[in-house]
Structure 1
Amino acid sequence: MRLAVALIPAVFLAACDIGTEERNEVASTRTVQRPHVPVPPGAIARGTAAREAALAPPGPEVTRELLARGEERFRAFCAPCHGASGRGDGTIVSRGFPAPPSYHEERLRSLAPEQIVQVITHGKGRMFPYADRILPEERWAIAHYVKDLQARGTGSPFDQEAARP
């Protein structure tokens, strides 16, 4: 029994010394530090093909669910500038920012949904890109909702209810 008790501290002390011979070769944070290697020309980031495929026309089929999702995303991302009816009278205009164009102008009514998706993705004029904020499927939903808003001409049903006395 005394022998076992005497060997236990020796085993623990021996275990504490394992790996100390490499201490000078490894950084204190245990990260491997390599020199910077530039990205080779023509390299494509992972997931690029899937993102491009999601943005390719004609996009998803237009359904009630897609338009409802488009309205929800439109109200979150677009209405502060473009207004709930798409006439360029959002809350930022009342605070002194320049008014964006109305979706009901003939120039914008002639845009196809894929062109609207490209504007959401890359931005245009004062509008900055939303590619990092809105998923490709949601961009399509917003684009189809904008086309639906243009077809109705007056805005969403919520705006029509609010205008009633």
Structure 2
Amino acid sequence: MRNVYLITAFAVVLLVSLFGFRGSLFTSSPIDVFPEWAFPGMKRQPKPKPQGESKFFADGRADRPLPAGVVSSDPLRNDDALYAGKHADGSWVRGFPVAVNHQLMARGQDRFTIYCAPCHGAVGDGNGITKQYGMGATPTYHDDRLRQMAEGELFNTITHGSPNKNMLPYADKLLPEDRWAVILYVRALQRAQLGTAADVTDANARETLGLK
């Protein structure tokens, strides 16, 4: 008999919890676990809010002006070519606003392998591993449209994502310099697809490749 009472009580509690107060609006305050009289300042401590009013300062504002001579901790990004891929007139940058060298190429290959190859493929043909899981519509870098696209426009796409939203922004993952490094490596992949034996001019490289 005792079990019947327990089961009945449990069923009532369950039904009330599921249906009894759905949509009800309570106007009374919840139980105050930390009452102000016992724990002063624990929950309702005075604090300034952004753009709020303050009785502490003479001008009545909670926000305070910056001290004289303060310097931003972020670098001053006043180079449109480097940070936006555009010239002052709004046209896309062609070429690279950073020094092009082997270190930049190696960095680009490293970042490309981590962030780009899963979708675009190791050689930039759009056949990355994500395609095996049903993700399509990844363009190849080796069509004329992307070969002829200005480097600044490629930079903008990496920064803000593609216009059709198939590619998300990577500005939070790649520093501006790393974005240029990735573009340099993409240009190398594009060049490699169109390369011929005549492009290999180094004698040791030709011997390694078995070229005469």
* TM-score normalised over the length of structure 2: 0.52
The 1:145–1:36 alpha-carbon spacing in structure 2 relative to 1, beyond 3 Å, is same
Matched, 1:34 2:48: yes
Give the match for residue 83 of structure 2.
Answer: 55
Give the match for residue 96 of structure 1.
Answer: 134
Counterpart code for 2:186:
V
Give the match for residue 57 of structure 2.
Answer: none
Q: Check conservation: 2:84, 2:156, Cα contact below 8 A.
A: no
Q: Check conservation: 1:51, 1:136, Cα contact below 8 A.
A: no
Give the match for residue 73 of structure 1.
Answer: 111
Give the match for residue 161 of structure 1.
Answer: none
CA distance in 2 between partners of 1:52 and 1:59 (Å): 9
CA displacement, residues 109-151 of structure 1 (integer Å, 9 cap, x when unaligned): 0012221111100000200000111111100100111111111
CA distance in 2 between partners of 1:51 and 1:129 (Å): 21
Q: Check conservation: 1:113, 1:147, Cα contact below 8 A.
A: no
Larger radius of gyration: 2
Give the fraction of aligned pairs with identical amino acids, expressed as a percent: 38
* TM-score normalised over the length of structure 1: 0.65
Ranked by relative contact order (alpha carbons within 8 Å, sequence separation 6 or more), the top structure is 1
For structure 2, the residue ranges without an aligned partner over 5 or more in a row are 1-38, 53-71, 86-95, 196-212
Indicate which of 101, 114, 127 corresponds to 2:167.
127
Q: Which has the higher helix share?
A: 1
CA displacement, residues 86-126 of structure 1 (integer Å, 9 cap, x when unaligned): 00000000111113110001000001222111110000020
Q: Check conservation: 1:114, 1:143, Cα contact below 8 A.
A: no
For structure 1, the residue ranges without an aligned partner over 5 or more in a row are 1-22, 39-44, 156-165
The alignment's C-alpha RMSD in Å is 3.0
Indicate which of 188, 197, 202 corresponds to 1:148.
188
Q: How many residues align?
A: 125
The 1:100–1:32 alpha-carbon spacing in structure 2 relative to 1, beyond 3 Å, is farther
